[in-house]
Structure 1
Amino acid sequence: MTTTPSLGYGRKLAVLIDADNAQPGVVEELLAEVARYGTAHVKRAYGDWTGTHLKGWKDQLLSQSIQPVQQFSYTSGKNATDSAMLIDAMDLLYTGRFDGFCLVSSDSDFTRLASRIRESGLIVFGFGERKTPKPFVVACDKFVYIENLRSGAAPTETEPPAPISATALKGDTALVHLLRHAVEASSDDDGWVHLGAVGNIITKQRPDFDSRTYGYTKLSDLLAATTLFELDRRVPGDGKPAVIYARDIRHTR
């Protein structure tokens, strides 16, 4: 598992895409990621569809059943798309029909929107490129970098990172501290903790944390790669799926 808030398969989500600020080539992977968090009951993409700069979106709009929302660029240099998306988001919020929003953009203009939605008790998932300003990233409950979704997409200029070595991982002081703190925070007397709890703690501290950033598909793979943690795969029985527990190797010394 990658670190995410608890997966909510029954969660009703509104997916709002700033087409002026997102690439159509990763839409399929993006929506597959959204499906991990809930069901997209609304899928809208905003932009000036009368121009030529969004022509690459047409196939994706049709194949993924995304509703295009037209917003004319009234003034050069001003982004009217942002305003349209903000207004729609608030209209959808006030209906009370949704459990959360997925905001797809690398634009910091949506920082306040993310905060406002969370103030209403709804969860916010952000999606954007690594250039996304930090204020928007931390305003979301969970933020996923588009680059981490490209592993299953067609080749692009930005490929997913190769797995980082154990030596380099252990040399990343901030990463090691984050992982160890998350394991320690909810461990039992023997030092063991359910991996899902570790992921939730990390996400609360770092909304943009993703094991894929380090070249590992799952959090368990990342923990194992550091060689700083002991992992235990346990089968509860009664046909229930196996669960993974982690423990800091220092606890055994």
Structure 2
Amino acid sequence: MADAAADGGGEEVAALSTGEQAYERIRQDIVFGRLQPGQRLTLDKLRPVYGVGISTLREILSRLVPEGLVVAEGQRGFQVAPCTASELAELAELRLLIESHALAQSFAAGDMEWEGRVVAAHHKLARMEERLLAGDDSGTMQWKRYDFEFHQALVSACGSKALLDLHAGIYERYLRYQMVFFIFWGPTSIGEHRALLDCALRRDADEGRRLLHGHIQGCVDVALERRLLD
């Protein structure tokens, strides 16, 4: 009986692990645009792709609704949340509000270890942006991961896990717009990241927040100028 109970427990853990893996895969597929905005999420079609059952898929998609990545359509099921100009503007405003506050806290409290994280994160991002500028877009997903790691490093000494978690959630929804529409504005973005690094090393929070405002707003402006959104 003990062995049977142990086996059952192992199967339950394995099932939970499989469900969590599917959740992360679907989430990333939405963020990185493999599942397109407005796409209907048919459970029967998703089941063989993600390797989980209908009930697990329904639970995963329900979890993604409050995250703003999936829309529930009542009896008709689920679809990927659409991308709109108004939501991008709202996410940009929220990201700026949260990241500006965390940035100031982090610049004030950051130590040498924090400086090392910021410099290392910027180095990886700068190298990837150079590749993009040269026309090599094969590392697009890696570019956005490095972009997040750099911004995360800048605020990582803010002293609040809740603030960092909130920032990560908003950033990921904002990131979806950049990935779906591949918003990269070349030398401007590269220069702004370098300037943010310099501000961090000087502990110049006022200039850092000013740069951050232009950096985030630039994504919105590029999307609107290119008429990428309604």
Same fold (TM over 0.5): no
Higher helix share: 2
TM-score w.r.t. length of structure 1? 0.23
TM-score w.r.t. length of structure 2? 0.24
Higher strand share: 1
Of structures 1 and 2, the one scoring higher in RCO (CA 8 A, sep 6+) is 2
